[in-house]
């Protein structure tokens, strides 16, 4: 999925929630909260250097996880996220076009600074900027589980709507880039190995979660 398509989906979904009418309650300027969430993972692709395939495509998948956050004031907060997805992998182009490989497991551990905007604490949008680590694992050519953890950066957009001083919902969309080591890297599965020369792998995530404030 391209960066532009992911960004368009995030912008559309975020914009729809802005029509919700704000509730009227007492809200603190600082708060700690947790948000379990579900949603969709939208994979990118790796440029293959093999003669029988042009790209290694990572597909879409259900994703789930949780965020733990703390709001220092009405404008700035710090958020930690864990997310898991199991997308499919296929080869594109050449003699291997459309061949499906083993699914992979992705685990994201990251932190972001959230910059909030909006006229009321009941309904606010935010920008999320940060980074962390992305773990990608699967099965290699001899059937042994393999795991690879790399540095990632992330940019996100979201909307939080609170119904009272404790409970609300959060719609969040983000795009992240993972450093996958570039030229000379190899992806393996029981059918063989494919080399690729992509340095940064990009993927998108759109989720909806239930937010609960501790205070």
The 10s digit of each residue's pLDDT in 5-31 is 444 444 444 444 443 334 334 455 788
Phi and psi of 174, rounded to 5°? Answer: -150, 155
Q: Is residue 15 part of a domain?
A: yes
Residue 33 near residue 211 (C-beta atoms within 8 A) = yes
Q: Is residue 67 part of a domain?
A: yes
Q: Is residue 150 part of a domain?
A: yes
Q: What is the pLDDT of residue 44?
A: 86
Q: Based on the structure, what is the number of domains in the chain?
A: 1
The average pLDDT across 197-212 equals 90
Q: What is the pLDDT of residue 186?
A: 61
CA torsion, ordered 168, 174, 179, 184, to nearest 10 deg: 130
Q: What is the pLDDT of residue 184?
A: 53
The average pLDDT across 156-175 equals 94
Concatenating the DSSP letter of every residue in 75-124 gives: SEEEEEEEEEE---EEEESGGGTT-EE---EEEEEEEEEEEEEEEETTEE
Judged against a pLDDT cut of 70, whether residue 195 lies above it is answered with no
Phi and psi of 98, rounded to 5°? Answer: 85, -5
The average pLDDT across 87-111 equals 80
Q: What is the pLDDT of residue 30?
A: 83
The average pLDDT across 35-42 equals 97
Q: What is the pLDDT of residue 28?
A: 59
Q: Is residue 24 part of a domain?
A: no
Q: What is the pTM of this model?
A: 0.76
Q: What is the pLDDT of residue 24?
A: 39
- Using CA atoms, how far residue 123 sits from 17, 119, 156, in Å, is 9, 8, 17
User: Taking the CB of residue 21, how many other CB atoms lie within 10 A of it?
Assistant: 8
In terms of pLDDT, which residue wins out, 104 or 97? 104
**pLDDT digit string, tens, across residues 110-146:** 999 999 998 787 899 999 999 999 887 765 444 444 5
The runs of H, that is alpha helices, within the chain are: 3-17
Q: What is the pLDDT of residue 148?
A: 72
The residue segments making up the domain with residue 100 are 3-19+30-213
Q: Is residue 196 part of a domain?
A: yes
Q: What is the pLDDT of residue 193?
A: 66
Judged against a pLDDT cut of 90, whether residue 179 lies above it is answered with no
Give the Cα separation of 204 and 60 in Å (integer): 9
Q: Is residue 160 part of a domain?
A: yes
In terms of pLDDT, which residue wins out, 3 or 85? 85
Q: Is residue 25 part of a domain?
A: no
Q: Is residue 77 part of a domain?
A: yes
Q: What is the mean pLDDT of the chain?
A: 79
Residue position matching structure tokens 């999925």: 1
Judged against a pLDDT cut of 80, whether residue 63 lies above it is answered with yes
What tokens were used for 72?
């220092």
For the domain that residue 94 is a member of, what is the CATH number? Answer: 2.40.160.20
């Amino acid at each position: 999925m391209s960066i532009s398509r992911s960004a368009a989906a995030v912008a559309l979904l975020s914009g729809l929630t802005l029509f919700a009418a704000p509730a009227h309650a007492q809200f603190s300027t600082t708060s700690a909260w947790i948000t379990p969430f579900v949603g969709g993972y939208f994979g990118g692709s790796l440029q293959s250097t093999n003669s029988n395939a042009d790209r290694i495509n990572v597909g879409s998948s259900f994703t789930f996880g949780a965020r733990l956050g703390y709001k220092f004031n009405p404008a700035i907060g710090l958020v930690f996220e864990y997310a898991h997805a199991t997308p499919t992998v296929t080869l594109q182009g050449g003699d291997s076009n459309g061949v499906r490989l083993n699914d992979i497991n992705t685990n994201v551990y990251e932190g972001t600074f959230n910059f909030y905007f909006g006229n009321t604490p009941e309904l606010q949008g935010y920008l999320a900027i940060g980074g962390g680590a992305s773990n990608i694992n699967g099965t290699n050519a001899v059937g042994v589980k393999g795991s690879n953890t790399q540095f990632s950066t992330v940019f996100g957009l979201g909307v939080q709507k609170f119904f009272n001083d404790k409970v609300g919902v959060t719609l969040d969309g983000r795009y992240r880039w993972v450093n996958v080591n570039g030229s000379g890297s190899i992806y393996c599965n029981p059918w063989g190995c494919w080399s690729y020369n992509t340095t940064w792998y990009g993927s998108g995530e759109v989720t909806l979660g239930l937010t609960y404030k501790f205070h």
